[in-house]
Amino acid sequence: MTTTLSPIHRRSAFPAVLLALSLIVLLVGAGCATRDSEASVPVPDRVDLEDLSDLVLRVGDQKGGTQALLTAAGELDDLPYEIEFSTFTSGPPQVEALNAGQIDLAVTGNTPPVFGAAAGARASIVSAYANRGEGDRILVPGDSPVRSVADLAGRKVLVAKGTSAHGHLLLQLRGAGLSPDSVEMVFLQPAEAGSAFARGDADAWAIWDPYTAITQTTTDARTIATAAEASNGFWFGLASHDALADARRQTAIADLLVRLAQAGTWTVENPAQWAAFYGEAVGLTPEAADLSQGRSTRRPVSLADTVEREQQLADVFTEDGQIDPVDIEGLVDDRYADVLGPVVGPVPGR
């Protein structure tokens, strides 16, 4: 398995266009891990940050994600360790990389941790972020006769397996009284799915921002459903068990999670500045950048406030025969509650 690695960063700069990164296709193999995702992980004492100068923390990322947030908010300045970012197309390959020990930490949508746990991935949830879910949508061509999720029965839908879009699609089908078998799901990563959708090879596409915004601002695609109507919209920080068991790496993760929380709060408080940075970072038009970032946030929230709703999502996958049962509470590692407590808040709307 390969990833695209950026150089080690203290202060990070992005190329003008990162859309090509979507061509990396990495799939999670459900049978490649032993089922110990809920096993107890040692909690070593943290070390002094000044002792981490020779440490390289390996962080998984998605286009316009963790690295962009940290850079825009100035949170990569004066790091006491170094970071090596690896860029992936979606959450499932990040979970696979965590399980394989290729990265130490990654932030994903709400569904990859569930699929990873069901496959026995050696990673735990260590932080949580709220999102309204409005950028996670089911799109259809402008001239499509499909007007609602119920109209998808017997039709072909593009989606990346094990992603937040997959979870959203299942929830929408359930809400419309349809079973997963009532539609033909075509599992493709975003770049391939975008091309297939543009060619008219499918009837609908379940996808997330910024791909949603790009499609909305460059085509006549219509929205028939958003995750704000059905899903919890959470993002989660995942750490590998190997990193959590290592005193120095888990210390660096503690520091980085605080920086991520502060960066997430900064984007909420500075939406215009963040959208401009984001658009330039990933090569979006100002229109697409404003659209996507006006509805996609990573507001840091308490892990405890997310468990019940994430368990509900996991149970849907189990009831629909997608995965074996997953215990979300057993997947959560709250060792960083002490440092995150001052910088997180309740889930909005609770």
Same domain (yes/no): 127, 272: yes
For residues 79 and 57, the answer to whether their CB atoms sit within 8 Å is no
Same domain (yes/no): 244, 276: yes
Same domain (yes/no): 259, 327: yes
Same domain (yes/no): 245, 290: yes
**Residues of the chain above pLDDT 90, percent:** 77
Q: Which of 212, 229, 246 finishes a domain?
A: 229
For residues 203 and 195, the answer to whether their CB atoms sit within 8 Å is no
Q: Which of 229, 257, 280 finishes a domain?
A: 229
| Reported confidence tier of residue 131, pLDDT bands at 50, 70, 90 | confident
Cβ-based neighbour number of residue 181 at 10 Å: 10
Has residue 295 been placed in a domain? yes
For residues 275 and 84, the answer to whether their CB atoms sit within 8 Å is no
The two beta strands, 123-130 and 235-240, are antiparallel
Has residue 350 been placed in a domain? no
The model's pLDDT over 293-313, given as tens digits with 9 standing for 90+, comes to: 988 878 999 999 999 999 999
What CA–CA distance (Å, rounded) separates 43 from 241?
10
Q: Does 210 sit behind a cis peptide bond, omega within 30 degrees of 0 on the bond before it? A: yes
Has residue 79 been placed in a domain? yes
Task: Give the residue numbers spanning the domain of 194.
Answer: 137-229
Structure tokens at 82: 């170094």
Has residue 54 been placed in a domain? yes
- Write out the H or E segment, with its range, that includes residue 275: helix 271-282
pLDDT at 7 over 50: no
Q: Could you give the strand order of the β-sheet that contains 56-62, starting from the edge strand earlier in sequence?
A: 4-9, 82-88, 56-62, 105-109, 235-240, 123-130, 299-301
| Among 75, 57, 320, 59, residue whose Cα is nearest residue 183 | 320
Same domain (yes/no): 25, 92: yes
DSSP 192: H
Helix, coil or strand: residue 333: coil
Has residue 53 been placed in a domain? yes
Same domain (yes/no): 252, 305: yes
Same domain (yes/no): 158, 175: yes
Same domain (yes/no): 214, 246: no
Amino acid at the residue 142: G
| Among 224, 208, 244, 213, residue whose Cα is nearest residue 126 | 244
Residue 215's pLDDT is 96
CA angle 160, 164, 167 (to 5 degrees): 90
Has residue 348 been placed in a domain? no
The two beta strands, 123-130 and 56-62, are unpaired
Same domain (yes/no): 121, 189: no
pLDDT at 178 over 80: yes
Has residue 297 been placed in a domain? yes
Has residue 174 been placed in a domain? yes
What CA–CA distance (Å, rounded) separates 330 from 311?
11
The model's pLDDT over 50-97, given as tens digits with 9 standing for 90+, comes to: 999 999 999 999 988 999 999 999 999 999 999 999 999 899 999 999
Structure tokens at 94: 């990040």
The number of domains in the chain is 2
Amino acid at the residue 223: T
Residue 57's beta-bridge partner residues? 83
CA 145, 148, 184, 288 torsion: positive or negative?
positive
Residue 322's pLDDT is 86
Mean pLDDT of 118-138: 94
What CA–CA distance (Å, rounded) separates 4 from 61?
10
Cβ-based neighbour number of residue 228 at 10 Å: 16
Q: Which of 201, 229, 257 finishes a domain?
A: 229
What CA–CA distance (Å, rounded) separates 64 from 58?
17
Same domain (yes/no): 141, 128: no
Pick left, alpha or beta for residue 40 (phi over 0 → left; psi -120 to 50 → alpha; otherwise beta): beta
Same domain (yes/no): 217, 259: no
Same domain (yes/no): 41, 68: yes
Contacts of 165 (CB under 8 A, 6+ apart): 111, 136, 159, 206, 207, 208
Residue 21's pLDDT is 33
- Per-chain mean pLDDT for the chain: 88
Q: Report the CATH number that the domain containing residue 276 is assigned in CATH.
A: 3.40.190.10
